[in-house]
Structure 1
């Protein structure tokens, strides 16, 4: 029997000027979510159930960019996305373009468990949500005053903003690059996405992962990032579970989550070495981070930007919550 392990994240790419109070709020939420996961794992709840449970909690709290508090599109609406994967049989479910579903990760789970498909989007996903009786809210539930103000700033700057909590000055320091930063060759004003995710291995060695996000502030309607894409933002198999965060377009090009599993399977690398390898060699110019667990009860993370909101814990008593290196 292996020991369980859990990792959770609230996004990679953090402004070094983030106020201490906001840093502390983020750490408290990550600690709270870790403890929910730990309690479930100690009660022998399966890995896939634990990742859903933890990501639901993150979606319900407006601190990070998923569920309530999601980033707003150029039209001022939310289009949320999520995915979940059970590594035991590589089963998966994903959703995107959601506007009313309170917990996108749970709808992704229902796509996996209750539909013949792996991925549903926009009106089809909303229709499926009604059929399954999941909890829904009016669009206004997801929209915070912070996000309304940040969308206004983004429109005035004619750019994409990643983070509703970051001041628009001093952003050029954020990714260690000269301003303006770019995504797909186009300028963006701030690098700090706040996707949420969880990766878990339970005491039976079963791995699972889930990821959820509201995407980018002022994004084009219909834009889909890495979070709902299996193999890009989320992946789990017999050897590991991975959830990614960061510049979605770069993560998609790198099939980042799957790469961790691939170098473990084909290069024989251990978990942390695999994470380090893909962060260094697969992101090109992109900025991103990821959390991962292995079927041996290990936990690992990596990022190539200033920071990543993350926490992890293992059965032998190790626990860490951090933001910076």
Structure 2
């Protein structure tokens, strides 16, 4: 009898331990954040160790900025804006300070942000004198009745809202200028990494609210006021607390045609797919059209999925469990 009781006790202890371990394993993070600095033909053999170190340092700095906000109970909106500002302020990325030049030798930047709790969104397009376009996009979302403002109107609005403006000389970087001159001299296409580039961030805060944001300097040598996917809600940026947040980077025309960011959310909502499955299907659609690029995503449970069909993407993520990764190559 005593032996049976002992065996039963052992069984109950083991069963309790198994249940407890499963529960811990399936816990969701209280917050999570993922960012990107553009995708393209990024290969290790073409990058010096010193340059790789610079990229990793800046990605880490941006990630730590957002992580600190979320860890201390801050909103996903603040985390996304401040994280993207770090990338916009660096000449390494095609956004803000490092924006590429158009055919006429100007900088034209786009940005957007979306809040998953109420589906509110804001965007600016074709701006050349706003130091941090992502902050202008947030202002459009929060204090304007509109979703997207462009050109001079967007700049006037930003100035009215006391955002930091910048002279065109601020956005001049020799590397971006040389890229334009190379195209103009040789009249040949450059690699994807030279032509495109975007920065973005998606965050889930402790209140369960998702925010996604994207900022870009556009495409080198672009003409005719071309606008890509970055400022377009549903194409380059989307967030919905019921599904996921998405920020895209790559050849924007394809992302616009597919409505990539919202399509991922829709597959989760209407087809009941996991974020991983929805992301896989979306990347397949991009491949079938011949588009290049990638996207970062977080779902409402804090799962992070990153997809690309290029040789590299500047990217990093972390969460409340302390999981952390910074990557550049495929």
What TM-score does the superposition give when structure 2 sets the normalisation length? 0.87
Q: Does residue 272 of structure 2 align to residue 271 of structure 1?
A: no
Say if 2:301 is the partner of 1:296: yes
Contact 1:4 1:315 in 2 (8 A): yes
- Specify the alignment match of 1:178 in structure 2: none
Q: Give 1:191's aligned residue.
A: 192
Aligned partners of 1:2 and 1:191: how far apart in 2?
Answer: 35
Matched, 1:243 2:247: yes
C-alpha displacement of 1:129: 1.3
Question: Which one of the candidate residues 12, 32, 52 is aligned to 1:5?
Answer: 32
Helix, strand or coil at the partner of 2:136? helix
Is the contact between residue 81 and residue 228 of structure 1 (CA under 8 Å) also seen in structure 2? yes
Q: Is the 8 A contact 1:2 1:205 kept in 2?
A: no
Number of the residue aligned with 1:170: none
How do 1:73-152 residues align onto structure 2 when only pairs under 5 Å count? 73-152=102-181
Matched, 1:207 2:234: no
Work out the CA distance in 2 between the residues paired with 1:5 and 1:41: 8
Using the TM superposition, give the Cα deviation of residue 15 of structure 1 relative to its aligned residue in structure 2, in angstroms.
3.0
Question: Which residue of the partner structure matches residue 259 of structure 2?
Answer: 255
3-state SS, counterpart of residue 142 of structure 2: helix
Specify the SS of the correspondent of 1:68: helix
TM-superposed CA distance for 1:90, in Å, is 0.4
Report the counterpart of residue 317 of structure 1 in structure 2. 322
Specify which of 309, 312, 315 is matched with residue 307 of structure 1: 312
- Contact kept? 1:68, 1:142, Cα under 8 Å: yes
1:228 and 2:257 matched: no
SS, match of residue 326 in structure 2: strand
Deviation at 1:108, TM superposition (A): 0.5
* Number of residue pairs the alignment of both structures matches: 297
Tell me the alpha carbon deviations over residues 180-233 of structure 1, each in whole angstroms, 9 at most, x when there is no partner: xxxxxxxx3211122000000112211110000000111114111110000011
Q: Report the 3-state secondary structure (helix = DSSP H, G, I; strand = E; otherwise coil) of the residue aligned with 1:308.
A: strand
Instruction: Indicate conservation of the 8 Å contact 1:111/1:118, yes or no.
Output: yes
Q: What corresponds to 2:59 in structure 1?
A: 30
- Return the alpha-carbon distance in structure 2 between the equivalents of residues 301 and 241 of structure 1: 12
Once the two structures are superposed, what CA deviation does each residue of 1:272-315 show, in whole Å capped at 9, x if it has no partner?
22212211124420001000111101111000111111001111
For residues 157 and 237 of structure 1, the distance between their equivalents in structure 2, rounded to whole angstroms, comes to: 45
The TM-score normalised by the length of structure 1 is 0.89
Q: Distance in 1 between matches of 2:39 and 2:320?
A: 25
SS in 1 for 2:280: helix
Distance (Å, rounded) in 2 between the aligned partners of 1:25 and 1:273: 34
| Structure (1 or 2) with the greater helix fraction | 2
Structure 2 partner of 1:173: none
1:59-78 pair list within 5 angstroms: 59-78=88-107
Q: Distance in 2 between matches of 1:276 and 1:59?
A: 29
User: Aligned with 1:64: secondary structure?
Assistant: coil
Unaligned runs of 5+ in 1: 160-187
Which consecutive aligned stretches of 4+ in structure 1 deviate over 4 angstroms post-superposition? none
* Shift, 1:240, TM fit: 0.8
Larger Rg: 2
Q: Over aligned residues, Cα RMSD in angstroms?
A: 1.3
Cα distance change of structure 1 residues 87 and 243 upon mapping to structure 2, 3 Å threshold: same
Provide the residue aligned with 1:175 in structure 2. Answer: none
**What corresponds to 1:163 in structure 2?**
none
Retained in 1: the 8 A contact 2:35–2:63? yes
State how far apart, in whole Å, the 1-side matches of 2:235 and 2:305 are. Answer: 17
